[in-house]
Amino acid sequence: MLGLLKVPHEPGPLNDNVIALARHRRSAAAPRRDAIVVRVHGWKHVAAVLTAARETSRAVTLLAPPGSTYTGGVGFWAAIDKRRLELFADVTADLIVDCDGAPGHVMAALRVGLKHLIFDGNDAARARLADIVAKHGASLQQRPPATLDLIHEKDPLRACRLLLAAAPT
């Protein structure tokens, strides 16, 4: 059986079939209010937004689709976030992952190091999660409106370039 994270009992290499995800302990300040919010559905969209943001020196917020932890899973979004940090470290960007109303998805997202999460569950569950999320240096966010959703864009990079070039500074 494949797992997302294997912690060996003895020093040695990880199994080739296991993806090790770094556990980042960075603080999760709220995403910037002046950032342009773009809904992304995978790495191709993330790379397009970040490339355009780098070209225009603009801050962006990458917004995963509603309930994205059901379809892609937290491991998928953690891998995207890790790659984003490696390849676009110079770009001011935050990734917000939508856990819908699933508290277990929020907990799983914290375990893989995701820092900006949306939770649309009931108020009692939100209150219980708030302390746990804060202890992980993460934050629960309200779902921001997306300026652009890349799902139907044939050329995501072009769409992002047009959006960021036309956006007020």
Domain count, the chain: 1
Residue 72, in any domain of the structure: yes
pLDDT at 29: 58
Residue 29, in any domain of the structure: no
User: pLDDT per residue over 21-62, tens digit each?
Assistant: 333 334 455 666 779 999 999 999 999 999 999 999 999 999
Q: What pTM value is reported for the model?
A: 0.80
Range of the domain at 85: 36-166
Q: What is the mean pLDDT of the chain?
A: 85
Residue 12, in any domain of the structure: no
Residue 19, in any domain of the structure: no
- 3-state SS record for the chain: CCCCCCCCCCCCCCCCCCCCCCCCCCCCCCCCCCCEEEECCCHHHHHHHHHHHHHHCCCEEEECCCCHHHHCHHHHHHHHHHHHHHHCCCCCEEEEEECCCCHHHHHHHHHCCCCEEECCCCHHHHHHHHHHHHHCCCEEECCCCCCEEHHHCCCHHHHHHHHHHHCCC
CATH code: domain of residue 129: 3.20.20.70
